[in-house]
Amino acid sequence: MSKKNVLVAQSGGPTVAINASLAGVIQGVLDSEKYDTIYGSIYGILGILENNLMNLSEKVSESKNFLDTLKVSPAMYLGSCRYKLPDYEDDDATYTFIFNQLKKYNIGAFFYIGGNDSMDTVLKLSHYGEQIGSDVRIIGIPKTIDNDLCETDHTPGFGSAAKYVAATILEVAHDTFIYSVPSVTILEIMGRDAGWLTAASALARNDYNTAPHLIYLPEVAFDRQQFVSDIKAQLAKRNNVIVAVSEGIRDKAGNYISASTATNDQFGHSQLSGTGKCLEYLVKEEINVKCRSIEINVLQRAAAHCSSLTDLDESVMLGRQAVAEAEKGNTKCMMTLNRISNTPYKCEIGFAGIDHIANEAKSVPREWINEAGNDITPALLEYLAPLIIGEPDIQYKNGLPVYLPVEHLDTGK
Amino acid sequence: MSKKNVLVAQSGGPTVAINASLAGVIQGVLDSEKYDTIYGSIYGILGILENNLMNLSEKVSESKNFLDTLKVSPAMYLGSCRYKLPDYEDDDATYTFIFNQLKKYNIGAFFYIGGNDSMDTVLKLSHYGEQIGSDVRIIGIPKTIDNDLCETDHTPGFGSAAKYVAATILEVAHDTFIYSVPSVTILEIMGRDAGWLTAASALARNDYNTAPHLIYLPEVAFDRQQFVSDIKAQLAKRNNVIVAVSEGIRDKAGNYISASTATNDQFGHSQLSGTGKCLEYLVKEEINVKCRSIEINVLQRAAAHCSSLTDLDESVMLGRQAVAEAEKGNTKCMMTLNRISNTPYKCEIGFAGIDHIANEAKSVPREWINEAGNDITPALLEYLAPLIIGEPDIQYKNGLPVYLPVEHLDTGK
C-alpha cells in the first residue's frame, strides 16, 4: 500500500506551546513508516479553502534546527484563523471542496491544533467524513491558555501562561513593596469564562512573598461592596496590597464588571474600559489610597522566553502520539493529558471522543475556591504547581530570543 | 587610623539593575581596607531620618549566595522613597539631623543609587557637608530605565528595560502576524520626557521581523493627522502594523496626547486614559481596522528574568568603583559610564561633578530620529545594540526565578 500524506493546521488564539505540538506532529510523521510528506495549512482551515499549503517536510530538511527552534517559538508558525465551518446540512459545497483537497494532496490524516472552536471544526469534519465514508483520520490536538477544555486534565499552553502570570506577580510584588506609602495594585488576567489562569497567580507566593493578597475568579459572582471591604481589611494588615482579577468577573446579575464602566472617548463614543481599570476607579473612589491597575494583556500568551518546559514537553508528546493514534486507525477524537499522580507529577497521553468536547467548557470547581470567594484553596494550588516546572533552553542572538522566522506571515499586499 | 563605616541607600523608581549596583558597593566595602561595616538605609533617605538602618555586612555573612542573588533581583532590596530634601537655607534642622546620624554610625562614605531626583539629594548633601566641613564622601550612582541622566553615556537599568521592550515587541509581532485580517497594534512604552526606551523597540527588527513599523518619541511634536496617514501608508503595504509609542508624546502646543482624551468614569469623574488607548481610539475612528493597544506598564522596569547581562555587570562595576573613588577622597560626584568604542563594545567607569547632573535631563538628539519623525536612524540603533547583550544566570525554584527575599519591606502595621 502506498504511503499517504499528512495535513496539519493551527487555529484560535495563540499560546507559546502550539508550535511545540506542531513540532511533535512533524516528528511523528518523520518517524512514521505509514506517512510520507507533511503539509501545513496556512491560516488554519482557510489554507485548505484557499489552497495555501506549505510543504513542512521540505522546511525540516532545509534547516537543521527547525524542530528545536519551532518547539520554543510563540504563537502559530502556520498562522491562525477565527473561522467557523458552516453546518454541512446548510452548505455541503464547503465540505465537498475540503474533502476534494484532502484527496488531491493524498491526505491520510488531518491534525487540527486548537481550542474550543477548533474542536468544533474537528467535530464537523469528522461527522461529514464519516457520512461520505472517507478514511481520512481527523484528530484534534488541544491548546488554550484558558485551560477550559473538557476531558483533558489541563491544556497545552496553560502551564506556560501560568508560569508567566506567577513570575509577573512576583516581580510586581518586588516592584510594589519598595515604597512605605500604602498602595493597591490590581492585575487583570485573561480568562473570560474560566478562572484557571487568574488562579495561577497564587503560585507567586513563597517564603517571603505574600502576594497576591486577593484573587477574584469569574466562577464566583463579584460583589463591589465586598471587594471594597476585602481591600480595606488587607490595608489594615499591610502597606501594599496586590490583587489578581480575571477579566471575566461578573456581578450577581451576570453583567461583566468591565462593561459597567462604559466611558465616552474624545469622539463622544462609548468605550468599554477594562476590568482592572474599573476596579482601580472603584478603589480610588471608595478608599483614599494610591491605586494602579495593570492589564497583563497578550504577553501572557506570547512570552515564549518564560515558557514552562513541562508544558512544551507535553505539547510535543501530544503531537507525536496523535500521529501514532492516526496510524492505528483512530479518528474523530481529541488528544488528552491524563494526570496519574501529583507527587511525583506524572501525566499520560490519551484521547477522547470529540462529541463531548467541542462547545463545552470546564470551569474552576467551586470547592477549589475559598468560601469568601476571594482566594483559592490548597487543593487547586497542588493541581497547578507541577505545570510550571522547568525552563526550556532558549537560544539568544544579539540579546534577544531566537524564534523560527515567520516572514511568510508578514506578507505584503 | 580606625576604620570608618559606609552607608548606602536606593531611591526613585525601580529598575532591575539597582540591586546590582548595591551588590557592587557591598563587594567594594568587603574588599576595602579602609571601610568596615556597611549599613543600608531602608526606604532611601527616609531610613536615615527615621533611624531605620540595616546591617548589610551581617546579611552577607549570614547567606552565602546573598550577593549573587542580589545582583539579579528586581527593584530595591532596601526599599525606595520619593522624598525631596528641603533647601538647607530653609530647613537646617533636617541636615543637622542627617549629619549627626552619619557621625553616630561613624560613616565615612554615603552612596545614593538613584535617578534625577536622587542626584538632587546628593547635590544638596554634598553642598551642606562642604559648608560644615564634613569629611563624609558623598557619591551618586546612577540608575533609571529612562536613560535621561547627563554626563553618562547611558544609565544602569536602561539596557535591561530596552532588552525587555525589544523582546516584547518581537513576541507581540509573532502573536500579531498569525491572522490574515488587517490589524494595528500599538505598544505604549515608558519615558515621559525622553524617548530612549521607546527607541529600543527597533532592536526587535531582524532578518524576518519588520516590526515596529512606526516609532513615535516625545522629542518630536506629535501630529494626529500625520499619524493617521502613516498608519494608512503602512496598511497599504502589510496586513499587521505594529507601532511603538512613548507615553510622553505631545502635540505642537505641548499638550500630552493622553491628557487630551479625558473621559468620565462611572462616578462622573474625569479620568485620563493612556497614550496607547488614545491612539487606539483615533485609529478606530479614522480607519476601519481592528486595533489593540498594549501598555507594557511596570513590567519593563521589573522583569528581572529578562535582564541584560551587560547592564548588570556594568551596574556592579559602578558600585565597586564608587567605593574605590571614595577611598581616594573623591566626593560630590556621580559615577559615569564612558563608551570607548561600539565594535567591539567597550565602556569605562568614570565620575563627574554632581553640579551639572541633578535636575537636568538628556533627550534623544533630533539627528538620531528620522526626518518624518516616525522612526529612528541607524546611528541610534548602533548606540543601543550593545546594551542588551548577554543573559544573567537566573536560578529557578518551583518554576519561578529566585530573587532575594524582601519580607522586611512587606511589613505588617
- The answer on pLDDT for A223 being more than 90 is yes
Q: What is the mean pLDDT of residues A187-214?
A: 96
pLDDT for B87 equals 92
* Residues 6 or more apart whose Cβ sits within 8 Å of residue A378: none
Q: What is the pLDDT of residues A376-404, one digit of tens each?
A: 999 999 999 999 999 999 999 999 999 99
Asked if A79 is an interface residue toward chain B (Cβ–Cβ < 8 A), one would say yes
Alpha-carbon gap, residue A393 to A223, rounded angstroms: 44
Q: What is the pLDDT of residues A229-279, one digit of tens each?
A: 999 999 999 999 999 999 999 999 999 887 544 444 444 444 456 899 899
Q: What is the mean pLDDT of residues B4-8?
A: 98
**Cβ distance of A180 and B407 shorter than 8 Å:** no
Instruction: Extract the C-alpha cell encoding B205.
Output: 527588527
**Cβ distance of A400 and B264 shorter than 8 Å:** no
A145 versus A260: the higher-pLDDT residue is A145
Predicted confidence band of residue A313 (pLDDT cuts 50, 70, 90): very high
Question: Which amino acid is it at A116?
Answer: N
Average model confidence (pLDDT) across chain A: 93
* Residues 6 or more apart whose Cβ sits within 8 Å of residue A92: none
Instruction: Tell me the DSSP string of B383-411.
Output: HHGGGG-------EETTEE-----TTTS-
Alpha-carbon gap, residue B8 to B10, rounded angstroms: 7
Q: What is the DSSP letter of B274?
A: P
The shortest CB-CB distance from B413 to any of A238, A299, A302 is to A238
Distances (CA, A) of A407 to A52, B178, B399: 15, 11, 32
The shortest CB-CB distance from A388 to any of B211, B297, B399 is to B399
**Cβ distance of A389 and B405 shorter than 8 Å:** no
Q: What is the pLDDT of residues B236-274, one digit of tens each?
A: 999 999 999 999 999 999 998 875 444 444 444 444 568
Predicted confidence band of residue A185 (pLDDT cuts 50, 70, 90): very high
Q: Sign of torsion, CA B212 B214 B218 B219?
A: positive
Instruction: Extract the C-alpha cell encoding A396.
Output: 539568544
Q: Are strands B333-341 and B346-353 parallel, antiparallel or unpaired?
A: antiparallel
Asked if A302 is an interface residue toward chain B (Cβ–Cβ < 8 A), one would say yes
Q: What is the mean pLDDT of residues A299-323?
A: 97
pLDDT for A413 equals 54
ipTM: 0.95
pLDDT for A1 equals 63
Alpha-carbon gap, residue B134 to B118, rounded angstroms: 20
pLDDT for B265 equals 41
The shortest CB-CB distance from B303 to any of A171, A298, A405 is to A171
Rg (CA), chain A: 23
Which residue, among B354, B357, B315, has the nearest Cα to B337 in the 3D structure?
Answer: B315
Q: What is the pLDDT of residues B46-99, one digit of tens each?
A: 999 999 999 999 999 998 899 999 999 999 999 999 889 999 989 899 999 999
Asked if A161 is an interface residue toward chain B (Cβ–Cβ < 8 A), one would say no
**Cβ distance of B179 and A413 shorter than 8 Å:** no
Distances (CA, A) of B108 to A145, B101, B313: 55, 12, 26
Q: What is the pLDDT of residues A19-50, one digit of tens each?
A: 999 999 999 999 999 999 999 999 999 999 99
Q: What is the pLDDT of residues B119-156, one digit of tens each?
A: 999 999 999 999 999 999 999 999 999 999 999 999 99
Average model confidence (pLDDT) across chain B: 93
Q: Of the ranges A86-90, B102-106, B391-395, which one carries the lowest mean pLDDT score?
A: A86-90
pLDDT for B1 equals 63
Predicted confidence band of residue A116 (pLDDT cuts 50, 70, 90): confident
Of all residues in chain B, what percent carry a pLDDT higher than 70? 95
